[in-house]
Structure 1
């Protein structure tokens, strides 16, 4: 049961639309989160916690968090992310967080607020493209192999 369908989890909003797809990319050893539409505090908490389940399941410290399909800001969750989610993510093994945003979106401002709030808790970078984010995660994995 090692097919792609078994490695993808979709969360739905109250209207039945996908609000978050979480997928383990075995070939690149990373977890890809694709956030979609508008996110409430509750949907962010649900989705962020679901990611932690996948981090444990796949023992994968590399997250590509994609906000390019997100609508609106998510500032309402930054404090919870910094104070609640981040310590748990680190305790479970998260080391690298690649955050992809569209520069002209409100989500980009929220990503900057998160970046400022978490400090140096783990390695986090903000990117304008998935390609750049994937390359940064690959480089981090290569560096970890050299050191480890």
Structure 2
């Protein structure tokens, strides 16, 4: 996906995460990098929520392609705990691009299909397909 730099506002940049507002597509783009624990995920979730409030947009493109290791329960925790909060903040669509290193992709996909009553959420293996879906929702 070609994000136009002049239309993207970088909101958070650390070695572990970047959070940007893509004005062309009107979504928050979150790029996770490296290893993450429950504690690091919780810290960065606050930054993502702040970005949603600041930009008043309704979509998140969540890129995990550079994840090395992660908090294994994160997807189920997100559905049960984080997605309801995102919905309250006005988020309606969430595209989750899996790391190719995750072997739980099919399980996460099934969980997303059956347990996301608060917002539309889909799991993808590539950024282009995720961005296309997010553009339509």
TM class, shorter-length: 0.7 to 0.9
> What's 1:115 paired with?
112
Distance 1:84 1:57 in 2: 21
Which runs of 5 or more structure 2 residues have no equivalent in the other structure? none
Count of aligned pairs between the two proteins: 133
State how 1:118-133 maps to structure 2 within 5 Å. 118-133=115-130
CA contact (8 A) 1:82 1:117 kept: no
CA shift, 1:87, in A, is: 1.8
Correspondence 1:89 to 2:91: no
> What's 1:8 paired with?
10
Shift of the 104–79 alpha-carbon distance from structure 1 to 2, 3 Å rule, reads closer
Which runs of 5 or more structure 1 residues have no equivalent in the other structure? 13-17, 141-148
Distance 1:94 1:118 in 2: 16
* CA offset digits 1:57-92 (Å, max 9, x no partner): 111111000000001232243454234322211101
Distance 1:87 1:74 in 2: 20
CA contact (8 A) 2:7 2:22 kept: no
Q: CA RMSD in A?
A: 2.7
Calculate the TM-score normalised by the size of structure 1. Answer: 0.75
Q: Which deviates more from structure 2 when the two are superposed, residues 32-41 or residues 101-110? A: 101-110
Shift of the 10–106 alpha-carbon distance from structure 1 to 2, 3 Å rule, reads farther
> What's 2:59 paired with?
62
Calculate the TM-score normalised by the size of structure 2. Answer: 0.81
Task: Choose 1 or 2 for highest CA Rg.
Answer: 1
Which of 26, 30, 33 aligns to 2:27? It is 30
Q: Which has the higher helix share?
A: 1
CA contact (8 A) 1:21 1:34 kept: yes
Shift of the 57–4 alpha-carbon distance from structure 1 to 2, 3 Å rule, reads farther
